[in-house]
Structure 1
């Protein structure tokens, strides 16, 4: 299954959209360590060669790769005397022959192979540094917040063991326990799920790709938190699949894990807080992403190269939380028991229907599955 994610990020691909301008290297003099200079060439290469100057499939795949690499870390396994993974160390790239066999990593092989070939061109940075710098750039390419980047991760020593990447069909308890073992709170998981506001599924139900209601090219959009709380009334595509929940619209795919986390007593009120105050989304996501990039690492041994992350881009306007046309607050399954759901307005017009994106421009022959090259 491919869905950015974050539960397997969380299983991710992207809605492809052009960005008005290409972000440029930030250089404000806050960090002049010469070891950061290598990222001048890295930035140019990944923007043009990898991302092709758009917030597209490759940019979102990089975010998914970053999560899958970092979450392969278990202090509990280490404490028991077993290998618990190296965290944000680039093992998913170094030991791709092993880690790509893990079920939750399905669909990442093409991107991993392409990125690995490019990473090998830069001998002064490790696979881990390459992945997390690329993730920081991808976030900016998709109009997301600027996050910190740390250089100097040591080379990975072994592949992460299987069983550490959460799956959309897991229970909320299992997901929260796995994230807690890796050092993340339930709130930080919900912060990371902001990436699902720009994603598609490609390997769960081949008959029903997902298209966001708002086609604005941004990785962060509070609308995701609204629409996940709409009552599901139908199975789109060919019906129920493992990891899929019922949808409020035809042709819209919904992850079971998102559906459950939005309604669970342990996370429902925090989920709702993004709808109550949309300004918190960017800062929370940036902080959680930085923490993810440091899983298993000693930050005191790293160099702050944040000034090499691209400066701001010209982001398209993003609407605040709203109800899709044809829906009302009665359709919201408000699950926070501590306070009422905020009053938000609905779009005018007939009920929104999610059209399937056009096919045939990405190697697809129209049967719902991408052709092999």
Structure 2
């Protein structure tokens, strides 16, 4: 049985990389993966924090969370790529067929030098390279090929209760504050399948920038739906063109997670510093980190962001539904201009894409 306590100790012992890549000689496995990384950066992501990047980042989570001490699974092993015919039938993976169609040809091109588990983690880490404000996520290589598909019903859904989500993450060694850290990915993400009438609807007002807006926006009083009402897992949002997940709203207001959520809303460096280690921890699920090789030099440093937390135009402190019981939400400046109408995220192809 996989030892989650050992995993936690190993993750804590691995320093989180925030500086630019070092000058050490690359281990042989990392050298073999240099052309893969270059190909992904140039020909998949193309220097943009766009739909392909969002999909690759989402894939990390949907692959890695597929492990449980109760029903098994391989965790971060690439099973979602190798056994996609099975795992893409899972309701929680709805929309990932287009992500696999986008990134899959790159795996097939390089499968002689990289396993599907390493490919998912490498692509996900590289996906943030063009996202201003994002942390540089560490990448370790050396995963064995997956042996079987992940069991169903291990990926949390946007309509799950906070109790259910916290319990699912606790099964694989994650604390509530780490769940909030992982949800930082929603700052550059969008949805296609929650409301299928409006594919590419972002969760955030700036879906190409890894900023704190998602944490501010979810606390604002919801007043509208960007498309149709009555969709499972969706609540009214405060900014036209954005989609609010029920699970995000409830986590933002749960006493176990509300204060971490509020901290991230006004502290970009803190948000970024917590996301990297949480993703690294995900990448080790089902793996023995001592058997993997640190190839983080392959991951470029994302552009810096001088983030100034602000309320969207027309929104003020009086519109905040705060829930942290130990600190008041600060009064932030309001962006000038008319109310926002956020455009959909351009899709990587003509089909609907990710829910990352």
TM-score by length of 1: 0.82
Match of 1:53 among 47, 50, 55: 47
Deviation for aligned residue 1:274: 1.1
Q: Residue 217 in 1 paired to residue 208 in 2?
A: yes
For residues 240-276 of structure 1, the C-alpha deviation after alignment (integer angstroms, 9 at most, x for no partner) is 2100011123333111010111011111011111134
For residues 173-223 of structure 1, the C-alpha deviation after alignment (integer angstroms, 9 at most, x for no partner) is 0011111112211111100111111122212223445356654732x2111
Assess, with a 3 A threshold, how the Cα gap between structure 1 residues 361 and 269 changes in structure 2: closer, same or farther.
closer
| Structure 2 counterpart of 1:156 | 146
Listed as ranges, the matches of 1:6-21 within 5 Å are: none
| Structure 2 counterpart of 1:19 | none
Match of 1:194 among 175, 184, 192: 184
Match of 2:126 among 133, 137, 144: 137
1:46 partner SS: helix
Following the alignment from structure 2 to structure 1, what is the Cα–Cα distance between the partners of residues 236 and 21? 47
Assess, with a 3 A threshold, how the Cα gap between structure 1 residues 36 and 175 changes in structure 2: closer, same or farther.
same
- Contact 1:243/1:256 (<8 A) preserved: yes
| Structure 2 counterpart of 1:254 | 244
Deviation for aligned residue 1:318: 4.8
Deviation for aligned residue 1:278: 2.5
- Contact 2:205/2:342 (<8 A) preserved: no
User: Once structures 1 and 2 are overlaid, which stretch shifts more, 27-36 or 42-51?
Assistant: 27-36
Match of 2:233 among 243, 252, 263: 243
- Contact 1:148/1:290 (<8 A) preserved: yes
| Structure 1 counterpart of 2:335 | 347
- Contact 1:223/1:320 (<8 A) preserved: no
Which fold has the larger relative contact order, with Cα–Cα distance below 8 Å and residues 6 or more apart in sequence?
2
Q: Residue 334 in 1 paired to residue 322 in 2?
A: yes
| Structure 2 counterpart of 1:363 | 350
Listed as ranges, the matches of 1:79-94 within 5 Å are: 84-94=72-82
Following the alignment from structure 2 to structure 1, what is the Cα–Cα distance between the partners of residues 337 and 284? 46
1:241 partner SS: coil
Assess, with a 3 A threshold, how the Cα gap between structure 1 residues 56 and 252 changes in structure 2: closer, same or farther.
closer
| Structure 1 counterpart of 2:88 | 100
Match of 1:287 among 277, 295, 309: 277
- Contact 1:51/1:59 (<8 A) preserved: yes
- Contact 2:40/2:123 (<8 A) preserved: yes
Deviation for aligned residue 1:108: 1.5
- Contact 2:217/2:239 (<8 A) preserved: no
| Structure 2 counterpart of 1:11 | none
Deviation for aligned residue 1:27: 5.4
Deviation for aligned residue 1:75: 1.1
Following the alignment from structure 2 to structure 1, what is the Cα–Cα distance between the partners of residues 348 and 68? 40
Following the alignment from structure 2 to structure 1, what is the Cα–Cα distance between the partners of residues 282 and 346? 34
| Structure 2 counterpart of 1:267 | 257
For residues 304-343 of structure 1, the C-alpha deviation after alignment (integer angstroms, 9 at most, x for no partner) is 1111222x2445x453211112111111001001121122
Match of 1:39 among 33, 49, 59: 33
Assess, with a 3 A threshold, how the Cα gap between structure 1 residues 244 and 343 changes in structure 2: closer, same or farther.
same
Deviation for aligned residue 1:346: 1.5
TM-score by length of 2: 0.86
Deviation for aligned residue 1:359: 7.8
- Contact 1:228/1:262 (<8 A) preserved: yes
| Structure 2 counterpart of 1:119 | 107
Structure 2 stretches of 5 or more lacking a match? 1-19
